[in-house]
Amino acid sequence: MITDVIKILAPSTLAFFIGILLTPILTNFLYKHRMWKKTSVIHALGGGKATISGGLHNDEERKTPRMGGIVVWGSVLITTLLLWILSLAFPHAVTEKLNFLSRNQTWLPLFILIAGALCGLIDDYLVCRDQGSYKGGGLSLTTRLVFVFLLGMLGAWWFYVKLGVDTIHIPFWGDLYVGIFFVPFFILFVIGMYSGGIIDGVDGLSGGVFAAAYAAYAVIAFAGGQIDLAAYASVVVGGLLAFLWFNIPPARFFNSETGTMALTTSLVIVAFLTKAVVPLLVIGFLLVATSASSLIQILSKKYRGGKKVFIVAPLHNHFQAKGWPPYKVTMRYWVIAMVLAVLGVIVALIG
pLDDT tens string 220-244: 999 999 999 999 999 999 999 999 9
pLDDT at 224: 95
* Cα–Cα distance measured from residue 63 to residue 3, given in angstroms and rounded to the nearest whole number: 45
Q: Which of 56-70, 117-131, 191-205, 219-233 has the lowest mean pLDDT?
A: 56-70
Confidence tier at 48 by pLDDT (50, 70, 90): low
Q: What is the DSSP letter of 67?
A: -
Range 77-86 average pLDDT: 97
Confidence tier at 133 by pLDDT (50, 70, 90): very low
How many C-beta atoms surround the C-beta of residue 95 within 10 A? 16
Q: Which of 37-46, 95-104, 315-324 has the lowest mean pLDDT?
A: 37-46
- What percentage of the chain exceeds 70 in pLDDT? 91
Range 289-309 average pLDDT: 88
pLDDT at 213: 98
Confidence tier at 163 by pLDDT (50, 70, 90): very high
Range 82-99 average pLDDT: 94
Range 322-346 average pLDDT: 95
Q: What is this structure's pTM?
A: 0.92
Q: Are 194 and 264 in contact (CB under 8 A)?
A: yes
pLDDT at 277: 96
Q: Is the pLDDT of residue 343 over 90?
A: yes
DSSP E strands, the chain: 167-170, 174-177
pLDDT at 134: 44
Residues 6+ apart with CB under 8 A from 314: 198, 199, 201, 290, 291, 293, 294
Q: Give residue-wise pLDDT tens across range 257-296.
A: 999 999 999 999 999 999 999 999 999 999 999 999 998 8
Q: Is the pLDDT of residue 245 over 90?
A: yes
* Residue 279 three-state SS: coil
pLDDT at 129: 81
Confidence tier at 350 by pLDDT (50, 70, 90): very high
pLDDT at 41: 56
Confidence tier at 132 by pLDDT (50, 70, 90): very low
Q: Which of 27-31, 56-60, 154-158, 263-267 has the lowest mean pLDDT?
A: 56-60
Confidence tier at 26 by pLDDT (50, 70, 90): very high
Q: Is the pLDDT of residue 201 over 60?
A: yes
pLDDT at 45: 52
Interior/surface letters 166-181, b for 16+ CB within 10 angstroms, e for the rest: bebbebeeeeeebeee
Tell which phi-psi region holds residue 101, choosing left (phi > 0), alpha (psi between -120 and 50) or beta.
beta
* Cα–Cα distance measured from residue 219 to residue 197, given in angstroms and rounded to the nearest whole number: 23
Phi–psi pair at 66, nearest 5 degrees: -90, -165
Confidence tier at 1 by pLDDT (50, 70, 90): confident
